[in-house]
């Protein structure tokens, strides 16, 4: 069976600026994949090329082994884009029906609206929706065709914490139906909660492609934090850490040998308070991987 | 899919009163102000054509061309302004269906304006035409409006999303006057009279006036050929503007 989505050595230049420098990604049917990276890393460009919205400068993109602009390929794909609008003068149920008509085997209108949690707004005009509701409408439009693959570009951007949590559950519900989900995010906890595979993109190249747990363990086992107002960079020199940062006297270290590091710091006579040692989370791993 | 898309396009335009109300009611209002007072007068001494019938043809041309330019201009501008085109392009909707649905909607709207204007002229203006004349007028103004679809598209892509309506008004209203749609051409300044035979709306108007039996300056075949020429030119400009937009956004 052909992969659900595939980028083969894709590069993209906007004028002189290289947005992608040779990205190869293969996503199998049923996978839930998060593409992670700082702003401007090339996530949206990757998605746009996969969807046929932009042409790669070199290399190629395939959906189910077909060109992304092929309508048969597109009929298996649901999309939620950053920065896209829908007609303001249509009602929610009307526009959901419209998008359903594009697909060969759509889900029912009520089901699509329920999956997005928009039951109460089904008869409202699009222009009457709040920002969060609009975002949910885009989700309804993405899933209403009952697609095999769902592409979500920064789906929770601009949502509050509660809204994001509920939204993540909706995406997870869709993924549990055995569908492929590809989402980009810079919220690391989203990737951790949803995805079985995380692809880290930075400066247009893939720097890691592994399950979230492996990415965490690859970088550092433990995070050491303490406060030491008078500390200098020199006092942290020569320690066996994978990353070190001082901000306003707050020190954060990532290390696989926290005991040895602390012993050395005490030997050097570093004054510290509020010492804390904890397992590193994905965010720490991410910072360590993308810090230059 | 086509039915749904057409219905959606219709609702989008219908719910913009600035478009639906003005395109349906303005021709009737103009007809009431300019046409009714002298509707039963002969067009010129000894003519069996009434001014009411003549002005009905003028307003039918005005109304239909207005719908074509505005509906396409506004929908293209809205789409660009709200970035709707991006999401639509990622769906399996064939572009041809999209285009077709808009054409059907615009033709439907144009027919709707005639459905308001014709009975008004019949009842209030006492305009009496043969069944074949009503029919000829209706089909000619619908068919002859095709170049104005392309003009609407071209302006929608060339003008900024927020200035489209202003640009269309700036072009459309003065040329409607210069083409003699509001006042017979003979009342216009000589310099305008010299220009008007080269305006697409003037040619379009000729088709309408000829349909109700009013004398026109040339054979209507000439008018059809002019319109066809303008149609080809406008479509070329629209296609060029569309491709320019495409390569800017999607390359």
- CB–CB of A84 and B84 under 8 A? yes
Indicate yes or no: CB of B4 within 8 angstroms of CB of A98: yes
Residue B10: strand, helix, or coil: helix
Tokens of B43: 């067009």
Which pLDDT score, from 0 to 100, does residue A32 have? 93
Distance (Å) from the alpha carbon of A255 to chain B's nearest alpha carbon: 44
Q: Could you tell me if B126 and B52 are in contact, meaning their C-beta atoms sit under 8 angstroms apart?
A: yes
Q: Which residues of A touch B251 (CB under 8 A)?
A: 54-55
What tens digit of pLDDT does each residue of A44-93 get?
Answer: 899 999 999 889 999 999 999 999 999 999 999 999 998 778 888 899 99
CA distance B104 to B108: 6
Across B30-61, b (16+ Cβ under 10 Å) vs e yields bbeebbbeebeeebeeeeebbbbbbbbbbbbb
Q: Which tokens belong to A1? A: 């069976």
Contact between A101 and B5 using a beta-carbon 8 Å cutoff: yes
Nearest C-alpha in A relative to B91:
A74
Chain A hits for B82, CB-CB cut-off 8 Å, are 85-88
Cβ-Cβ contacts under 8 Å, B89 against chain A: 53
CB B150 within 8 A of CB B242: no
Q: Give chain A positions within 8 Å (CB) of B1.
A: 101-102
- The residues in B 117-176 lying below 8 A from A, measured between CB atoms, are none
Contact A84 B5 (CB under 8 A): no
- Interface confidence, given as ipTM, is 0.83
Place of tokens 């501008």: B77
The answer to whether B84 contacts A81, with C-beta atoms less than 8 Å apart, is no
- CA B237/CA B52 separation, integer angstroms: 37
**pLDDT higher than 90, residue A158:** no
Residue A55: name the closest of A89, A20, A81 by CA: A20
Contact B87 A74 (CB under 8 A): no
A85·B84 Cβ contact <8 A:
yes
Q: Residue B221: which H helix or E strand, with range?
A: helix B220-250
pLDDT digits (tens, 9 = 90+) for B94-120: 988 988 999 999 999 999 999 999 999
Cα distance from B171 to chain A (closest Cα, Å)? 27
Q: From CA A52, how far away is CA A46, in angstroms rounded?
A: 10
CA distance A92 to A81: 18
**Statement: residue A248 has pLDDT above 80:** yes
B91, B95, B101: which to substitute to probe chain A, counting the most A Cβ within 10 Å?
A: B91
Task: Report the C-alpha gap between B104 and B106 in whole angstroms.
Answer: 5
Residues counted in chain B: 251
Predicted structure pTM score: 0.82
Tokens of B250: 């999607």
Q: pLDDT tens for residues B166-205?
A: 899 899 989 998 998 888 877 888 888 888 889 999 999 9
Partner residue opposite A101 with nearest CB, options B4, B12, B82: B4
pLDDT for res A292: 52
| Residue in B closest to A86 by C-alpha | B84
CB A33 within 8 A of CB A3: no
Alpha helices, H only, chain A:
43-50, 71-74, 92-100, 109-115, 131-143, 161-176, 188-194, 212-219, 258-267, 282-290
Give contacts of B 12-31 with A, CB under 8 A. Answer: 12, 15-16
The pLDDT assigned to A76 comes to: 94
Nearest to B1 among A52, A77, A102 (CB): A102
Q: Specify the DSSP element, H or E, that contains B75.
A: helix B51-81
Which residues touch B223 (CB under 8 Å, ≥6 apart)?
B203, B204, B206, B207, B210, B216
Residues sharing a CB contact under 8 Å with residue A167, sequence separation 6 or more, in sequence order: A135, A136, A139, A155, A156, A159
With beta carbons under 8 A apart, name residues in chain B contacting A52.
90
Q: Is the dihedral of CA A41, A44, A50, A52 positive or negative?
A: negative
- The arithmetic mean of pLDDT across residues A111-134, rounded, is 92
Beta-carbon neighbour count of residue A175 at 10 Å? 19
Q: In terms of Cα–Cα distance, which of B81, B106, B77, B91 is closest to B10?
A: B106
Task: Show the tokens assigned to A66.
Answer: 């077909």
Label residue A245 by pLDDT band (50, 70, 90).
confident
Distance CA B158, CA B146 (A): 19
pLDDT tens sequence across B143-159: 999 999 999 999 998 98
A92 neighbourhood in chain B, CB within 8 Å: none
In angstroms, the separation between the Cα of residue B78 and the nearest Cα of chain A is: 8
CA distance A241 to chain B (A): 44
């Amino acid at each position: 069976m052909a992969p659900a989505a595939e980028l083969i050595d894709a590069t993209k230049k906007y004028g002189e600026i290289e947005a992608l420098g040779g990205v190869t990604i293969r996503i199998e049917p049923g996978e839930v994949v998060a593409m992670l990276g700082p702003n401007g890393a090339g996530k949206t460009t990757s998605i746009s090329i996969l969807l046929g919205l932009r042409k790669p400068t070199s290399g190629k993109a395939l959906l189910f082994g077909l060109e992304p602009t092929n309508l048969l390929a597109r009929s298996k794909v649901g999309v939620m884009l950053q920065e896209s609008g829908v007609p303001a003068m249509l009602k929610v149920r009307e526009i959901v029906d419209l998008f359903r008509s594009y697909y060969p085997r759509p889900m029912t209108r009520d089901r699509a609206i329920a999956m997005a949690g928009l039951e109460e707004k089904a008869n409202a005009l699009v222009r009457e929706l709040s920002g969060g509701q609009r975002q949910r409408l885009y989700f309804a439009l993405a899933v209403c065709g009952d697609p095999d693959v769902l592409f979500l570009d920064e789906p929770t951007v601009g949502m509050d914490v509660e809204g994001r949590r509920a939204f993540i559950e909706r995406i997870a519900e869709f993924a549990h139906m055995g569908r492929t989900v590809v989402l980009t995010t810079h919220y690391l906890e989203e990737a951790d909660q949803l995805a079985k595979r995380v692809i880290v993109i930075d400066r247009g190249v893939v720097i890691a492609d592994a399950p979230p747990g492996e990415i965490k363990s690859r970088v550092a086992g433990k995070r050491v934090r303490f406060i030491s107002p008078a500390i200098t960079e020199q006092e942290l020199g020569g320690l066996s850490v994978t990353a070190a940062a001082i901000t306003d006297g707050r020190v954060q270290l990532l290390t696989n040998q926290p005991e040895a590091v602390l012993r050395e710091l005490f030997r050097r006579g570093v004054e510290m308070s509020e010492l804390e040692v904890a397992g590193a989370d994905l965010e720490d791993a991410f910072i360590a991987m993308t810090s230059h | 899919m086509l039915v749904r898309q057409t219905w959606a396009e219709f609702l989008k335009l219908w719910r913009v009163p600035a478009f639906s109300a003005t395109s349906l009611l303005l021709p009737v209002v103009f007809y009431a102000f300019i046409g009714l007072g002298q509707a039963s007068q002969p067009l010129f001494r000894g003519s069996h054509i009434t001014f009411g019938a003549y002005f009905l043809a003028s307003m039918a041309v005005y109304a239909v061309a207005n719908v074509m330019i505005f509906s396409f201009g506004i929908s293209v501008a809205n789409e660009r302004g709200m970035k709707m085109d991006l999401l639509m392009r990622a769906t399996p909707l064939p572009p041809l269906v999209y285009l077709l649905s808009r054409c059907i909607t615009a033709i439907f709207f144009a027919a709707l304006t005639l459905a308001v204007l014709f009975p008004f002229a019949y009842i209030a203006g006492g305009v009496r035409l043969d069944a074949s004349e009503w029919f000829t007028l209706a089909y000619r103004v619908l068919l002859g409006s095709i170049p104005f679809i392309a003009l609407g598209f071209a302006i929608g892509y060339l003008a900024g999303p927020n200035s489209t309506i202003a640009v269309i008004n700036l072009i459309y209203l003065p040329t409607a006057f210069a083409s003699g749609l509001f006042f017979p051409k003979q009342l216009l300044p000589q310099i305008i009279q010299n220009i008007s035979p080269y305006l697409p709306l003037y040619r379009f108007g000729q088709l309408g006036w000829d349909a109700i039996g009013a004398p026109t300056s040339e054979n209507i075949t000439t008018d059809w050929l002019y319109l066809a020429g303008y149609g080809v030119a406008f479509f070329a400009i629209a296609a060029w503007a569309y491709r320019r937009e495409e390569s800017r956004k999607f390359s």
